Homo-oligomer: A and B are copies of this chain.
Amino acid sequence: MVYRRTHQVVKRLAARRSAILSAARDAAAAGGMAAVQIAPVAVRANVAAGTVYRYFPSKAELISELITEVSRDELSAIRRAAEAAPGPSSALAAAVTTIAVHVLSQRKLAWGILAEPVDVDVTASRLASRRDISGELAMRIDAAVRAGHLPAQDTALAATALLGALHEALVGPLAPSNLDDPIKLRDAVQTVTLLALRAVGVMDARARGLVVQATTPAKALVGA
């Protein structure tokens, strides 16, 4: 009488759940958050609309999890890049460049995660996403300050400002439209990285060096 989920079923359920999330992510990457609607997502995931609700209590929850997932990936990429750098200033430059490159290579998705109007309330997960990434940046800035490479400052505010600058310059409505050209893209990444580093107090000459250094390993990504 006791119905117990067999291993196979457990696996299928998990697969389905992640298929739905993937479908949502694909939709967002292709058409922004506006394209993340229950019915189309269900079709992409090969399930019925109602089934989505067996895995996610609401559309808000689905999108929130999507945001969380993307954000987690982003954060770990930033950490990886920063930790591979030789010193605190390089790490900061690497973190900034990584954000810029990632955001550019998935512009629609980034815009959806960050700022695109959505009909359900996802402020909480957006806030968390920003807090995490901004926090990571703040730590890097702080490390550079402690190393004596930067003047003392309100690192949290600075990190937030940097994020805003990157987003607005690269995926906001005023972002240059020619960023499909890899060369223009690299230039844009370098320009905003330079701005960001100078903003927190890196001397111009040194900043230019760091930018070149940080952009080099990211080239592959930019190309992708």
A41 to B129, CA, bound (A): 34
Mask: chain A, 145-181; 1 = CB below 8 Å from B; 0 = not: 0000001011011101111111111001111100000
- Inter-chain CA distance A66–B169, complex, in Å, is 25
Interface-forming stretch among A4-12, A72-80, A193-201? A193-201
Contacts of A134 in B (CB 8 A): 174
Q: Which among B123, B160, B175, B200 is the interface contact of A168 at CB below 8 angstroms?
A: B160
Note all chain B residues with C-beta closer than 8 A to A157.
169, 176, 188, 191-192, 195
Copies in the complex: 2
User: Which stretch, A16-24, A112-120, A216-224, touches the partner chain B?
Assistant: A112-120
Q: Does A204 contact B (CB under 8 A)?
A: yes
Residue contact A192 to B117, C-beta cutoff 8 Å = no
- 1/0 per position for A126-140, CB-CB distance to B under 8 A? 110011001000000
In the bound assembly, the distance between CA atoms of A110 and B119 in angstroms comes to: 20
What count of chain A residues pass the 8 Å CB interface test?
42
A37 to chain B, nearest CB (A): 15
Which residue of the partner chain, among B131, B160, B166, B198, contacts A198 with CB atoms under 8 Å? B198
Inter-chain CA distance A166–B118, complex, in Å, is 23
Selected contact of A164 from candidates B119, B154, B167, B176, CB within 8 Å = B167
Determine whether the beta carbon of A131 is less than 8 Å from that of B201. no
Chain B contacts for A191, CB-based, 8 A: 153-154, 157-158
Complex-state Cα separation, A164 to B100, whole angstroms:
14
In the bound assembly, the distance between CA atoms of A198 and B156 in angstroms comes to 17
Residue of B nearest to A207 (CB): B201
Contact call B164/A166, Cβ cutoff below 8 A: yes
Within 8 A of B (CB), among A61-104: none
Q: List 10 A-B contacts (CB under 8 A).
A: A126-B173, A157-B169, A157-B192, A160-B168, A161-B166, A164-B167, A165-B165, A168-B168, A195-B200, A198-B198
Given contacts A160-B169, A164-B165, 15 further A-B contacts (CB under 8 A): A115-B115, A117-B117, A117-B119, A123-B173, A126-B173, A127-B174, A157-B192, A158-B191, A160-B172, A161-B165, A161-B192, A161-B195, A164-B164, A168-B168, A195-B200
